[in-house]
Structure 1
Amino acid sequence: MKTPPPSPGLRDLRHLTPARVGLGRSGASLPTSALLAFMLDHARARDAVHAGFDISAIIAGLDALGLQTLRVSSRARSRKDYLRRPDLGRKLDAASQGLLADGSRVPCDLAIVIGDGLSPSAVTVQAVELVRALVSRLAIGKIQLGPVIVASGARVALSDEIGALLGARMAVMLIGERPGLSAPHSVGAYLTFAPRTGRMDAERNCVSNIHSSGLSHDEAAFKIAWLIREGLARQVTGVALKDESSGQARIEPA
């Protein structure tokens, strides 16, 4: 009779998750090492929220990919305004509205918007490589791209107004996600079919946790491209479009 394997313990669980489990204790408190690790991760999360947004580096990287870019701003004039007034981050300022309301611009299938969000440093580091992986997959489906918009002071819903002004059938916002204690540099992608001001979150699809310990750029680009193709074909996003990309054969760009 075989001896049954020992039941998994907290030590085993700690190897499977970055969550804070099985930290131990020192008297009635945490061990010093666990407390210091928590304080460090908390400081990194706070720093990510207030980090600078290197727009010039992002635009230079997009230019190197041969993509047309435009720079816009929300109505949040400072980081303090952005954090205290989320509504201001959902609307373009007057100058940006005028820039995008160009009647000579040809309507497109997809508007890609890159926004700083709540982790500007994550976007600065990851945006160009994520776009590189994405556009190569979109080229396979012959999806017509509009100019890539780089937006400061951006909330997710800012892509609704941008997409509508560009005459885009769909908008995808690549934005810095709210920092967590284990993932301060994560990017999320939010997709909206027929973007217009007033769209609800239930009308969007989201691919989140794009970072070094989460979804890779290639994995995320595969999922985003699948949702874009299916969303355009079915003319829906959000709760009406289930992500079934995991069951699809992966077609790698040449």
Structure 2
Amino acid sequence: MNRDPDVWSPLRLSTQARIGLGRSGNSLPSQRVLEFKAAHAAARDAVHVPFDADAMLDRIGQAGIGRPSLVYSNAGSRSEYLRRPDLGRTPADLTTLTRTADDIGFVLADGLSPRALAEHGAGLLDALIMELSPHFSIAPPVVAVQARVALGDHIGHALGVRTTIMLIGERPGLSVADSLGIYLTHNPEPGRTDADRNCISNIHPPDGLDYARAAKITAALVAGARRLGRSGVALKDTSAEELAAAETLTLE
């Protein structure tokens, strides 16, 4: 009787987790060891790959929301950025920014995966603009280098925007090295904590959240933050319920 030598194969199609790795004597099979080493190398490369800020500025300059600006954190190098997270949270200089007092300020930051921003940043920004521009005024975007999430508070405060939306490369893992995250902060100012923000993570189509869905969730959070007067733990994502209600009305 023929038997599938790897009964885990069908299950692997539905997850990126490493399951049913098997054994070869007292060790893992060579194929699984090589796959792990390749994933580990991809994660390390995603952290250390140089970020081409000029290419990003050129790309998002075509988004139609104004000429983008470039900001650096106080981390002078990638090595210092990784060793000193505190330096990535504060700006070296914000004098290049112009106060706009718009509703939304976008910050595109390299974070812990410059690769993620390079691959998904412009596409996600386009989707966000399409979703938000009919309802809110948007400031010219800012590209932030060697940035941590809290750097967005300084940038948003300098711009005078009501809500900062930061697109930042997430920490790479052994299953995903190009995941982008969105951090939303209402009334940004230095000193905000993670409890004051909302996060949408795992944005990396086709395997993760797609741009359009991430943009709809963000728009729902922006609207909720304006009604509530704040973002963070008090603000919940209701986009799934609203989408389900809209689909029900359509079917009726």
TM-score normalised according to structure 2 size: 0.90
Query: Residues of 2 paired with 1:10 and 1:106: CA distance?
Result: 55
Unaligned 5+ runs, structure 2: 1-6, 247-252
Whether 2:94 is the aligned partner of 1:97: answer: yes
Alignment partners' CA distance in 2, 1:249 and 1:181? 32
Find the counterpart in structure 1 of residue 57 from structure 2: 59
Q: 162, 172, 175: which one pairs with 1:182?
A: 175
Q: 1:170 aligns with which of 163, 167, 185?
A: 163
Letter in 1 for 2:63: L
Deviation of 1:140 (Å): 2.5
Structure 1 residue corresponding to 2:42, chosen from 25, 34, 44: 44
Amino acid at match of 2:53: I
Q: State how far apart, in whole Å, the 1-side matches of 2:214 and 2:10 are.
A: 28
- Deviation digits for residues 218-242 of structure 1 (CA, Å, limit 9, x no counterpart): 1111111211122122212111011
Task: Say whether 1:85 aligns with 2:84.
Answer: yes
Aligned-pair Cα RMSD in Å: 1.5
In the alignment, the residues of structure 2 paired with residue 14 and residue 121 of structure 1 have an alpha-carbon distance, to the nearest angstrom, of 25
Q: Which residue number corresponds to residue 28 of structure 1? A: 26
CA distance in structure 1 between the partners assigned to 2:201 and 2:55 by the alignment: 23
Residue in 2 aligned with 1:3?
A: none
* Alpha-carbon distance in structure 2 between the residues aligned to 1:249 and 1:206: 19
**Distance across 1 between alignment mates of 2:70 and 2:94:** 11
Name the residue aligned to 1:157. 150
Partner of 2:129: 135
Where 2:133 maps in the other structure, the secondary structure is helix
Query: What SS does the aligned partner of 2:106 have?
Result: strand
Identity of aligned residues (%): 46
1:86-108 deviations in Å (ceiling 9; x for gaps): 00000000xx22223x5xx3311
State the Cα distance separating 1:10 from its structure 2 match: 4.3
The CA distance in 1 between the partners of 2:218 and 2:191, in whole Å, is 23
- Mapped to 1, the partners of 2:129 and 2:69 lie a distance apart of 17
Distance in 2 of aligned mates of 1:249 and 1:207: 17
> Which residue matches 1:18?
16
Task: Quote how far apart the aligned CAs of 1:17 are.
Answer: 1.1
Asked if structure 1 preserves the Cα contact closer than 8 Å seen for 2:65 and 2:139, the reply is: no
Q: Which amino acid aligns with 2:208?
A: G
Runs of 4+ aligned residues of structure 1 deviating over 4 Å after TM superposition are 9-12
Report the TM-score when normalising by structure 1: 0.89
Q: Secondary structure at the match of 2:105?
A: strand
Q: Which amino acid aligns with 2:111?
A: G
Does structure 1 retain, via aligned residues, the 8 Å contact 2:100–2:161? no
Q: Does 1:116 align with 2:110?
A: yes
* Cα distance in structure 2, aligned partners of 1:181 and 1:84: 21
**Equivalent residue, structure 2, for 1:74:** 73
The partner residue of 2:210 within 216, 225, 235 is 216
Q: Contact 2:65/2:138 (CA < 8 Å) preserved in 1? A: no
